[in-house]
Structure 1
Amino acid sequence: MKSYKVSIWKISVNRSARKPTYLVRWAVDGSPFHEVHKTKALADRFRAKLLRAADKGEPFGTVTGLPDSLRSGQAGLSFLELALKYLDHRWADASAKQRDSMTDSLATAVPALVKAMRGRPAPGTLRKALRSYLLAPPRGERERPDDIAAAVAWIEKASLPVAELLETSQVHALVDAVFRKLDGKPAASQTYRRRRAVVFNCLGYAVELGMLPSNPLSKVRRKRQSGHRPVQEVDRRVVVNPRQARELLAAVTYVGGWDRASGRRLRAFYGCLYYAAMRPGEVLGLRRSDCTLPGKGWGRIELAETRPTAGKAWTDSGEAHDRRGLKQRAAGEVRLVPIPPPLVRLLREHLDEFGTAKDGRLFASERGNVVAASSYSRVWKQARELALLPSQVSSVLAARPYDLRHAGVSQWLNSGVPAPEVAARAGHSVDVLLKIYAKCIDGQEAEMNERIMKGLGEDDRSEE
């Protein structure tokens, strides 16, 4: 906020220190400010600048205590300029998914800290201008439509200095913007946490640059809304049993176009999700050289690369799929996954019919490209309609291909495989594994009940 109510006092001398210092004191709208200088000449010069700004009728900030003419250097950077500096700082080392997340979060946050200016663009236009034209480098290379150019010009003028976040009301406005979607409704809890983390790191960078004394988000917490608590556990309703999984994999070969080739091409892909509990991006990056496929018995997969869907705007290569190492693992680290005979057979049959892409990948589109998420999701939808009962089709049972991974991990746990071994095969830590799949460990209720009764010195049969 700004105010024209400014009082500037005479310079005072602090003689308590070893060397005297000179204090310039002033007030803006009743709030006191001061600045210490080592010499009287420096203090006189700064006080003269304050007097000159007041004589010119400049408004003074109620947070910083300074007029616009004295907002220079890092302290004068706007929130938009901070966002641009932060993205330039992080871009080269960030994955495509992280780049997507950072631009999404900052495109949501930047419009929350702006002046009240005429001509504010519509929320959707302003967000598109930030996310697609202004924030992501390289900037200025794409031709901007008139509405986008106008939105960019507006936000560049309207963005307030980062120092405004020293005012708690501005921080609350920022948190509220991150919490909501464009239509004003609350965003999903995971979306809010992801956006808040990005903005928190951005403001942490401002602290490193000396723009803020501390991170203002550390002092503000949003009260959890009922119905919007973070949900990390897998919903056991999405988990198919082994029979249902086999029927779904069989149904895939009957869908996918007039010749059903696209369905058959993806059967082993879905098999990797279920039998090896792989992530879709890991399956898309799987190569023939990663697989040991004997004629009989168990095989093995050595996972080293993942190809997550990210979008052309966020990858260095300009491809829709990023190329990264394994999730939450050091560069070059490999995960070994033993695979059962049913998956070995599926992979051998897939290689016999479709071979590999030019770079050795097992799963590719008809043109040899990385299979798009929209393609394997479309085939999966058709397979569910064929393999499941009508009531199940309308339910959340195996609603996404990723749910096959949940089913695979749940099947291992329910078969009695120790949690550390399951975690190693699935690429989780043990604590995360048990937290996520706690509700999917089934079939032990009767055994646990019997143990409790024995501990009580009772016999279940006595009540029969």
Structure 2
Amino acid sequence: MLRDHALLPADRRAELPRNRAAVLRWLETASLPLADLQEAGVLRRGLDAISVTFAGKKAAANTVLRKREVLNHLLELAVEEKVLPSNPLREIKWTPPKSTEAVDPRTVVNPRQAGALLAAVSYVGRSRGPRMMALYACMYYAALRPEEAAGLRRENCQLPDEGWGMLTLEKARPQANKRYTDSGEAHDERGLKHRAERETRPIPIPPVLVAILREHIKRYGVADDGRLFRTAKGRPYTASAISRIWQEARAIGFGPEQAASPLAARPYDLRHAAVSLWLNIGVPATEVAQRAGHSVEVLQRVYAKCVEGQALQANNKITAALDD
């Protein structure tokens, strides 16, 4: 109700049934005035509230930090609109929960496992899996984010008959509620993450992905706007559909123990597997960062636990130095 009505501009609000209108009136009367957030006790109760789940259990650290950031943005807007004299959140001494950005190595598949999963996607449903296999392949072989794959167009692809090809990313299509997008569509075009609005990102792609994309285009064509990936009715794939098909593929491609493990639990883990592979085979961090759309600093922090063999190399170097 809040997302579909109360928090939207008036011209985008859905019609509110009578029973829900009564609930909304109760929410309005039961809610505290915004000015009350200037009281430390009230603000602390708010921070306590975003630190637990609806079931009353401790929320994940990243979830708490994200909600705290949203609260901070709202308070900054209130200051900008002259509703509050200052942001009271800055005056609260609150210790945020410790979070980690590091990728869990248990989620990272090796090339053989990735190949088995991509093959398994082709067996999901009559046409859903086969139409989506190339999308997942882009996440693994080119380390694309799901929204980057969703925005991929034929004009972005150099797919030679032989050898390596090239993807030149320029747009992403993240999913949102269509009432919150300017286009009125569930997917809105945006610039690339961590990039200026018109900046592109070239990604060399191996022959195996070139072949997969050529076959996909031959079999399914492209949308009117050149997009490679869409449903049989021409609609973009939703995040829930991408996740659902992936879970079905894991059940086909993995044994019971692997299917119950964190290994490639999410489609996004294919991207993590790609970056981890590049780092482990010795591709320079600067090149990996460029292809993945990260800074080198973020890359090394996020994937530190996925780089294997460094401890042994370090031990050998120390041994050699001590023997001199």
What is the TM-score when the length of structure 1 is the normalising length? 0.66
The answer on whether the counterparts of 1:133 and 1:139 sit within 8 Å (CA) in structure 2 is no
Alignment gaps of 5+ in structure 2:
none
The alignment of Structure 1 onto Structure 2 pairs a total of residues equal to 324
2:12–2:179 Cα contact (<8 Å) kept:
no
Q: Aligned in 2, Cα 1:310/1:140: closer, same or farther, shift over 3 Å? A: closer
Q: 2:134 pairs with 268, 271, 285, which one?
A: 268
Give SS of 1:359's match.
coil
The aligned counterpart of 1:192 is: 64
Determine which structure has the larger strand proportion and give its number. Answer: 1
**Correspondence list, 1:48-127, <5 A:** none
SS, match of residue 178 in structure 2: coil
In structure 2, what is the equivalent of residue 388 of structure 1? Answer: 254
Question: Residues 211 and 377 of structure 1: is their aligned pair in 2 closer, same or farther, counting only changes over 3 Å?
Answer: closer
State the alpha-carbon separation in 2 of the partners of residues 310 and 210 from structure 1. Answer: 29
Q: Call closer, same or farther: CA 1:372–1:161 in 2, change over 3 Å.
A: closer
Matched, 1:296 2:162: yes
Letter in structure 2 aligned against 1:359: D
3-state SS of paired residue (2:299): helix
Look up the match of 2:53.
181
- 2:238 alignment partner in structure 1: 372
Report the CA distance between 1:338 and its aligned residue.
0.6
Which residue of the other structure, out of 33, 36, 54, is the alignment partner of 1:164? 36
Shift of 1:291: 0.4
Output the CA distance in 2 between the equivalents of 1:186 and 1:297: 51
Contact 1:240-1:407 within 8 A present in 2 as well? yes
- Tell me the distance in 2 between the aligned counterparts of 1:365 and 1:182: 35
2:256 maps to 1:256: no
The answer to whether the 8 Å contact 1:134/1:140 transfers is: no
The one-letter amino acid of 1:407's match is A
Q: CA deviation at 1:374?
A: 2.6
Provide closer, same or farther for how the CA distance between residues 143 and 404 of structure 1 changes in structure 2, counting only shifts above 3 A.
Answer: same
Letter of the 1:154 partner, please give it.
W
Query: Which amino acid letter does the alignment assign opposite residue 24 of structure 2?
Result: V
2:14 counterpart residue number: 142
Query: Structure 1's 374 and 215: CA in aligned 2 closer, same or farther, altered over 3 A?
Result: closer
1:336 Cα deviation from its structure 2 partner: 0.6
SS in 2 for 1:302: strand
- Say yes or no: does 1:314 pair with 2:186: no
- Structural RMSD (CA): 1.9
Instruction: Output the CA distance in 2 between the equivalents of 1:388 and 1:239.
Output: 14
* Cα distance in 2, alignment partners of residues 141 and 204 from structure 1: 25
Residues in 1 aligned to 2:223 and 2:253: alpha-carbon distance in whole angstroms: 30
Deviations 1:157-203 (A, max 9, x none): 34433332332111112212222333333332222212211221222
From 422, 425, 442, the counterpart of 2:288? 422
Deviations 1:409-432 (A, max 9, x none): 001101111111111100011111
Task: State the one-letter code of the partner of 1:190.
Answer: N
- Percent identical residues: 51
Unaligned 5+ segments in structure 1 are 1-127, 459-464
Equivalent residues in 2 for 1:318-357, closer than 5 Å: 318-357=184-223
